[in-house]
Amino acid sequence: MELPQDGRHRAFIEQVRPAVDCGRSALKRVLGEPIDVEADVIAEGHERIACALLHAPAGSTSWTAVPMTALREDVWQASFVPAALGRHRYTVAAWIDAFATWRHKLLRRTERDDVALALREGAALVRAAAARARGPERGALLAYAASLESDAPLEERRRSASSEALRELMAAAPDRSLETVYDPPLEAVVERPLARYGAWYEFFPRSSAPGRHGTLATAARHLSYVAEMGFDVVYLPPIHPIGNSHRKGRNNGLQASSADPGSPWAIGSAGGGHKSIHEELGTLEDFAGFRREAERLGIEVALDIAFQCSPDHPYVREHPLWFARRPDGSVQFAENPPKKYEDIFPIEFGTPEWRELWQELRDVVLFWVGQGVKVFRVDNPHTKPFDFWRWLIADVQRSHPDTIFLAEAFSRPRVMFRLAKLGFSQSYTYFTWRNTKQELTDYFTELKAIRDWFRPNLWPNTPDILHEYLQTGGRPAFMARAALAATLGASYGIYGPAFELLEHTPREPGSEEYFDSEKYEVKRWDLEHEDSLRQFLGKLNEIRRANPALQGDDTLTFRHIDNDQLVCYSKTSPTGDNVVLVVVSLDPEQVQSGFIDVPLDEWSLDAQDPYHAHELLSGRSHEWQGPRVFVTLSPAECPACVFRIEAPHRTSERDFDYFA
Catalytic sites, residue numbers? 379, 408
* Beta strand extents in 81-181 (DSSP E only): 86-96, 180-181
Q: How far apart are CA 441 and CA 458, in angstroms?
A: 15
Distance, in Å, from the CA atom of 521 to the CA atom of 257, rounded to the nearest integer, reads 11
Amino acid found at 230: G
User: What does the longest C-alpha to C-alpha distance in the chain come to?
Assistant: 105
Decide: helix, strand or coil at residue 299: coil
Determine the Cα–Cα distance for residues 431 and 483; give it in Å rounded to an integer. 13
What pairs with residue 597 in β-bridges?
628
Rounded Cα distance between 223 and 531, Å, is 21
Q: How far apart (Å, rounded) are the C-alpha atoms in residues 170 and 164?
A: 10
State the amino acid at position 451 in one-letter form. Answer: R
- CA distances to 375, 440, 549, 578 from 546, rounded to whole Å, are 24, 25, 9, 10
- Paired strand residues for 305: 378
Give the C-alpha separation, 560 to 268, whole Å.
53
The span from the CA of 385 to the CA of 329, in Å, is: 25
Asked whether 461 and 495 are in contact (CB, 8 A), the reply is yes
What is the Cα–Cα distance from 536 to 500, expressed in whole angstroms?
9
Three-state DSSP class for 181? strand
Q: Are 494 and 500 in contact (CB under 8 A)?
A: yes
Q: Is 428 exposed, middle or buried (0-12, 13-18, 19+ CB in 10 A)?
A: buried
CA distance 551 to 422: 24
